[in-house]
Structure 1
Amino acid sequence: MNPLLSRRRLLGTVALSSAAAVALSACGGGGGGGEGGGTVTAFSVEPENPLIPSNTTEQGGGRPVELIFKGLISYDEDAQPVNELAESIESEDNINWTIKIKGGKKFTNGEDITSQSFVDAWNYAAAAKNAQQGSYFFEVIKGYDKVSAEGSEEDEMEGLKVVDDTTFEVELSQADITFPNRLGYHTYVPLPASAFEDMEAFGENPVGWGPFKMDGEGAWSHNEEIRLVKNEDYDGSQPAQLDALTFKLYQSAEGAYSDLISGNLDILDQIPPSSMDVREDDLSGRTDQVEYAGNYTFGIPYYLEGWSGEAGKLRRQAISLSINREELIDQVIKQGTPAKDFTSPAVEGFPESFKNQEFVEFDAKKAKELWDQADEIEKYNGKPFELAYNADGGHQEWVDAVCNMIKNALGIEAQGKSYATFKELRTEANAGELTSAFRSGWMADYPSMYNFLSAQFATGGSSNDPKYENPEFDKKLKEGLEAETVEDANKAFIEADEMLLEDIPAVPLYYPARTFGWSENVNDVKLTWNGEIDYAVVTQA
């Protein structure tokens, strides 16, 4: 069986939709015709964690990790799977999978890439004792429940077996029609044996197999830059055209934009809202806007006083109904389209409409009615509604606008809550210590509705920051995974999505578009299917 059509990540920076996945790659800039070689600088922010693939779930770390590591498959410009290290991925029943990898491949430290490299990496990622944020991606593998249990010291999943250097077998705990298409996400990449000797040190200077590699010891200068150089030995589908790529780590997108227009930065993958109206003039046309597979929301933790139970549900619906999404996009964000669900129009199976869609449509009168109904059940605590955001990502304008809409519709105090960096915000979210609602977003890891729904909202999901729990929702996701056809799977996923639209664990805002710009120093600046800059194809002008 070939990998099916089917890719996540928390959006860590600017408010960044999607039409068909086919349309994602055709746009871009620079005019083409650039030369190979050269050095280019690009925007990023300080990663949340060391650069360990299975513990990287945000863009600051994701940008370099995606370039240093490639695994079994990648995705082309149409979101179709392409073999990288995989020779074949086959199953007769969607439970038992045989994976054959290409022989003769090596990590950039000279170690051979073998089946053991995958099995060791996957076991490490899944084990509770290693506390990896990407652990959840292995929940379908038999034995995951044992190694991931709180306090477990076990570190080998029963469902993984090395057959020989180029073959390993994977037994799932249940049928999963999406499994092969997940395998392009960086949590599934192999790791060299040397990584396990000191994983923290490895994360400072990681070794992989991809179009780029770290530029030696000290290549990551914290809060300043991450320097990558071309990996001459990579012979996969996405070879680098540049000799070197340096990510400059910024405290704000506004500062990065200033550097871009002054020639001190080559690529900015997110024009801040404050510069949307002047970007064409400032950059002399070296800018573009492209829809992609993503979704922008803000979550409301269930552990906050007044936001659980029936009263909490009514308040969540009221908050969502308070927001005029079209006005927000037209006047503030100036990109994307209003969201009507929790996934993306770019993924297969997306329907024309959803049950419960009315809860994400602006209706100030209905919003106030629901808020008052909630107060009849349980009086609100009177505290201002706060929406947390990271100041290094250009979010203040839209957060202020949303809070004003909530204030006007509900007659309550509402205000933004600024964190200096995305890392600080994520630290509280990961610890379950948020004291307010929080901005969030999702960039697809693999092209499937399941990718948007599971990690963010399934019980125990790795990015379930609101701490949403609904057994019926979990059951519906399981039904989709066990479906015999993609069509039946998507039907179940849509029904799960519709449950979220009633419960509103997070408030859908819009399907984002990536608005990016580049300097006169570069050509061929394009986006991947899921909205990343395709750094491998960038050339120097």
Structure 2
Amino acid sequence: MTKFRILATTALLTQTAFAPAWAAETHPVTGEPLAADQTFEYRLLDQFPSIDPQLIEETVGGHLARQLFEGLLTQNADGTLRPGVAEEWSSEDNQTWTFKLREDARWSNGDPVTAQDFVFAWQRAADPATASEYAWYVELSQITNASAVTSGEADPSELGVRAIDDRTLEVSLARPLPYFPQMTVHYTFMPTHPPTVEAHGAAWTNPANIVSNGAYVLEDMAVNEFVRLVQNPEYWGAEDVIITEITGYVINDANQALNRFQAGEFDMMDDLPAGSYPRLEEEMPDVAHSVPRLCSYYYTVNQTETGHEALQDPRVRTALSYMINRDVITDQVLKAGQAPAYSFTHWATADFELPEIDYALWSQEERMEKAKALMEEAGYGPDNPIELDLIYNTSENHKQIATVVSQMWRPLGVTTKLSNYEWQSYLEIRGNQNFDIARSAWCGDYNEASTFLDLLTTRNANNDGKYSNEKVDQLMLDSVTMSDPQPTYAEVEKILAEDMAVLPIYHYTQNFVLDPTIRNWPTENVENNWYVRDIYRVATD
């Protein structure tokens, strides 16, 4: 029997119930003197396409969702599970899961958060009419009838989730899944307020309309400029929330953003300018940070008929991959502890061992020699050149990497056109396969290898290159019921390397700068899931 019961009591609750924590002069747990200004400002790399939990498909919107909404479970600073709307969760067989909701969970308009709200949201995520980019995630979670619902063969009401009563949610899975509770942390499984969605349609997330259940509510937003959140007085843990206001500024240019950070305009930024980290670490050791982050940077190869004909040939894809000198990118361009990637799954993934990939063991000279031979075997080379379109979203870092890689490909007779697009346009172009090669990154939705490997199955909507291998599909399906799927994951990685399904480049670190007055940042959370409700600002005097 798997059973969890964690009461949502913390040391913070020892403070008086008559005033919020931020009103005190010292932190109620640590005793640190608190600053009078308890606001938090940070840099957004791109304008988020959506903050609708069932429509979000990227990390910028995901970070905002964690402030605005709360799912059944959330995470501690080290990534372990803690209660969210659910106080308890249990399963006798890892196949039927029961979640008991807290009585004091409220929407920002005062309505209680009920089990029916989760049923509504999860059915909405799976419903083809919603057109969620994460409908596949509902399938991946093994919820009963998820595949039939997402394919339109069954009504959303047949999804294996039901409200036993207002405070009891029951989830039935097609197969036992011991890590299912981890999956509920993801924004796709956050609740949405049915009356608001039904009343306002696509406009329900506008500041004037939105109703949310997280520690913060949306106050104001200007597209491509900023977003502002303020405390939600209806949040069940409002008495413990210290930061009163959050502002995110959209700044595409990393150098401009860093200058503004150093001028004191905001408190945190990640995606630092390429190569800047060693200097920042030396000059500001209490400000610059680099920690593992569960993301892999890679190039997606369009393997459909809309892509270049040569890219249908695995020999060409393999040659392109072999020519990429990953050490140059990690050690000379980025310089922030990133690891060269020869397989897809990030090395820091829990209970995952990187398999031995042959070409990872070769010297770069050996890889380059083999690449030229493969291109010649495929009928291409300097005498029969290829012109490829490589797209990337606006970022000086992406541009630098694309420029370096395009130069590395030249000895193969490959000319590369570099095409830069703003985030939303880039997502649309990539999602519609209107490219040859696309800059991509995948960040784990939960800490288990399947979050990476399932991306390259045929059914996954985020498999933008449309790579398809029946054996990979079957192995990933079989892995769900295995007590130890690691050997299967290793086999899948080797198949991906043989097919060169994608061109892996490096495994991320989370390199960022943070104002040292901001405390309790979750540097040990490899998923980079942060909750502003947990942080606070200390006084400088």
Give the TM interval when normalised to the shorter protein.
0.7 to 0.9
Q: Tell me how far 1:228 sits from its aligned partner.
A: 0.8
1:200 aligns to 2:199 (yes or no): no
Q: For residue 55 of structure 1, give the secondary structure of its aligned residue in structure 2.
A: coil
1:366 aligns to 2:367 (yes or no): no
- 1:62 maps to which residue? 62
Structure 1 segment 78-117 matched on structure 2, within 5 A: 78-117=78-117
Deviations 1:223-249 (A, max 9, x none): 111101123443459954311010011
Contact 1:77–1:529 (CA under 8 A) maintained in structure 2: no
- 2:401 maps to which residue? 398
Change (3 A) 1:294 1:46: closer
- 2:453 maps to which residue? 453
- 1:172 maps to which residue? 173
1:387 aligns to 2:390 (yes or no): yes
Q: For residue 210 of structure 1, give the secondary structure of its aligned residue in structure 2.
A: coil
1:513 aligns to 2:509 (yes or no): yes
Segments of structure 2 that go 5 or more residues without pairing to the other structure are 5-31
Contact 2:68–2:217 (CA under 8 A) maintained in structure 1: yes
Change (3 A) 1:529 1:381: same
Segments of structure 1 that go 5 or more residues without pairing to the other structure are 5-31
Contact 2:38–2:243 (CA under 8 A) maintained in structure 1: yes
Aligned residue pair count = 500
Q: Tell me how far 1:396 sits from its aligned partner.
A: 1.2
Change (3 A) 1:191 1:532: closer
Structure 1 segment 137-148 matched on structure 2, within 5 A: 137-139=137-139, 140-148=142-150
Change (3 A) 1:381 1:120: farther
1:538 aligns to 2:535 (yes or no): yes
Q: For residue 366 of structure 1, give the secondary structure of its aligned residue in structure 2.
A: helix
Q: Using structure 2 for the length normalisation, give the TM-score.
A: 0.85
Contact 1:159–1:171 (CA under 8 A) maintained in structure 2: yes
Structure 1 segment 235-314 matched on structure 2, within 5 A: 235=236, 240-273=241-274, 275-280=276-281, 285-303=286-304, 304-307=307-310, 309=312, 312-314=313-315
Change (3 A) 1:188 1:356: farther
Q: For residue 156 of structure 1, give the secondary structure of its aligned residue in structure 2.
A: helix
Contact 1:300–1:307 (CA under 8 A) maintained in structure 2: no
Q: Tell me how far 1:461 sits from its aligned partner.
A: 0.6
Q: Tell me how far 1:274 sits from its aligned partner.
A: 5.5
- 1:182 maps to which residue? 183
Identity of aligned residues (%): 24
Contact 2:77–2:522 (CA under 8 A) maintained in structure 1: no
Q: Tell me how far 1:375 sits from its aligned partner.
A: 1.6
Change (3 A) 1:122 1:263: same
Change (3 A) 1:352 1:62: closer
- 1:53 maps to which residue? 53
Is 120-129 or 55-64 further displaced after alignment? 55-64
Q: Using structure 1 for the length normalisation, give the TM-score.
A: 0.85
Deviations 1:394-446 (A, max 9, x none): 321111111111223x2322342222x222111112223x2221111122221
Q: Aligned partners of 2:286 and 2:87: how far apart in 1?
A: 42
1:504 aligns to 2:500 (yes or no): yes
The letter of the residue matching 1:77 is A
The letter of the residue matching 2:182 is N
Contact 1:128–1:149 (CA under 8 A) maintained in structure 2: yes
1:220 aligns to 2:221 (yes or no): yes
Q: Tell me how far 1:539 sits from its aligned partner.
A: 2.7
Deviations 1:166-199 (A, max 9, x none): 1122222333343222111111111112232123
Q: For residue 292 of structure 1, give the secondary structure of its aligned residue in structure 2.
A: strand
1:375 aligns to 2:374 (yes or no): no
Deviations 1:29-48 (A, max 9, x none): xxx86547522221014444
* Higher RCO (CA 8 Å, separation ≥ 6 residues): 1
The letter of the residue matching 1:387 is L
Q: For residue 309 of structure 2, give the secondary structure of its aligned residue in structure 1.
A: coil
The letter of the residue matching 2:480 is L
Greater Rg over alpha carbons, structure: 2
Deviations 1:326-367 (A, max 9, x none): 121111011211113111122222215334554997311011
Q: Aligned partners of 1:195 and 1:380: how far apart in 2?
A: 62
Change (3 A) 1:97 1:523: closer
Deviations 1:32-87 (A, max 9, x none): 86547522221014444231012112122122112111211122233322222223
Change (3 A) 1:393 1:3: farther
- 2:526 maps to which residue? 529
The letter of the residue matching 2:460 is G
The letter of the residue matching 2:526 is W
Is 78-87 or 444-453 further displaced after alignment? 78-87
Change (3 A) 1:77 1:346: farther
Q: Tell me how far 1:392 sits from its aligned partner.
A: 3.7
Calculate the aligned-residue CA RMSD, in Å. 2.8
Change (3 A) 1:194 1:511: same
The letter of the residue matching 1:394 is N
Is 47-56 or 524-533 further displaced after alignment? 524-533
Contact 1:99–1:168 (CA under 8 A) maintained in structure 2: yes
Contact 1:3–1:180 (CA under 8 A) maintained in structure 2: no
Q: Aligned partners of 1:194 and 1:361: how far apart in 2?
A: 60
Q: For residue 530 of structure 1, give the secondary structure of its aligned residue in structure 2.
A: coil
Q: For residue 445 of structure 2, give the secondary structure of its aligned residue in structure 1.
A: coil
- 1:350 maps to which residue? 352
Q: Tell me how far 1:282 sits from its aligned partner.
A: 6.6
- 1:77 maps to which residue? 77
The letter of the residue matching 2:214 is G
The letter of the residue matching 2:527 is N
Change (3 A) 1:44 1:460: same
- 1:44 maps to which residue? 44
Deviations 1:479-500 (A, max 9, x none): 11112x2xx1233222222221
- 1:13 maps to which residue? none
Q: Tell me how far 1:520 sits from its aligned partner.
A: 6.7
Q: Aligned partners of 1:45 and 1:60: how far apart in 2?
A: 8
